[in-house]
Amino acid sequence: MIHAMSFFAILFALLIEQARPLARSNPIHAGLRAWSLSVSRNFDAGKSHHGWVAWCLAVLVPAAFVLAVHGALLWWVGWPLAVLWNVAVLYITLGFRQFSHHFTGIRDALEMGDEERARERLAHWQQVDVGELPRSEVVRHVIEYSVLAAHRHVFGVLAWYSVLAALGLGPMGAVFYRMSEFVSRYWADRGAEELQRASPSLQHATSLAWMAIDWLPARLTALCFAVVGSFEEAIEGWRFHAQRFPNDNDGVILAATAGAINVRLGGEALKARSNPLTTQGFEVDASIGESDSTPGREPEVGHLRSVVGLVWRSVVVWLLLVALLTLARLLG
Q: Is the pLDDT of residue 185 over 80?
A: yes
What's the CA angle centered on 149, arms 192 and 137, to 5 degrees? 90
Residue 194 pLDDT level (bands cut at 50, 70, 90): very low
Contact (CB, 8 A) for 259 and 237: yes
Instruction: Give the three-class secondary structure for 314.
Output: helix
Residue 56: what pLDDT? 96
**Distance of alpha carbon 160 from alpha carbon 170, whole angstroms:** 8
Q: What is the mean pLDDT of the chain?
A: 89
Instruction: Provide DSSP, 54-73.
Output: HHHHHHHHHHHHHHHHHHHI
Residue 86 pLDDT level (bands cut at 50, 70, 90): very high
Contact (CB, 8 A) for 310 and 225: yes
Q: What is the pLDDT of residues 90-116, one digit of tens each?
A: 999 998 777 888 899 999 999 999 999
- What residues contact 187, with CB distance under 8 A and at least 6 apart? 36, 40, 198, 202, 203, 206
Residue 196 pLDDT level (bands cut at 50, 70, 90): low
Residue 325 pLDDT level (bands cut at 50, 70, 90): confident
Residue 186: what pLDDT? 87
- What residues contact 39, with CB distance under 8 A and at least 6 apart? 54, 57, 58
- What residues contact 278, with CB distance under 8 A and at least 6 apart? 127, 284
H helices of the chain, in order, are 5-19, 27-43, 48-72, 79-93, 96-111, 115-126, 135-150, 156-165, 170-186, 200-213, 215-228, 231-241, 248-261, 301-331
Q: What is the DSSP letter of 123?
A: H
Residue 108: what pLDDT? 94
Q: Is the pLDDT of residue 294 over 60?
A: yes
| Contacts made by residues 37-41, CB under 8 angstroms, sequence distance 24+ | 37/196, 40/187, 40/196, 40/198, 40/202, 41/195
Give just the sign of the alpha carbon dihedral 229, 231, 236, 238: positive
Instruction: Give the three-class secondary structure for 128.
Output: strand
Residue 245: what pLDDT? 93
Contact (CB, 8 A) for 140 and 301: no
Instruction: Provide DSSP, 176-219.
Output: HHHHHHHHHHHTT-TTS-TTTPPPHHHHHHHHHHHHHHTHHHHH
**Overall average pLDDT of the 126-141 stretch:** 90
Residue 282 pLDDT level (bands cut at 50, 70, 90): low
Contact (CB, 8 A) for 94 and 153: yes
**Distance of alpha carbon 202 from alpha carbon 58, whole angstroms:** 11
Closest by CA to 161, choosing from 76, 60, 87, is 87
Share of the chain above pLDDT 90, in %: 66
What pTM did the predictor assign? 0.92
Higher pLDDT, 73 or 99: 73
Q: What is the pLDDT of residues 14-43, one digit of tens each?
A: 999 988 888 777 888 889 999 999 999 999
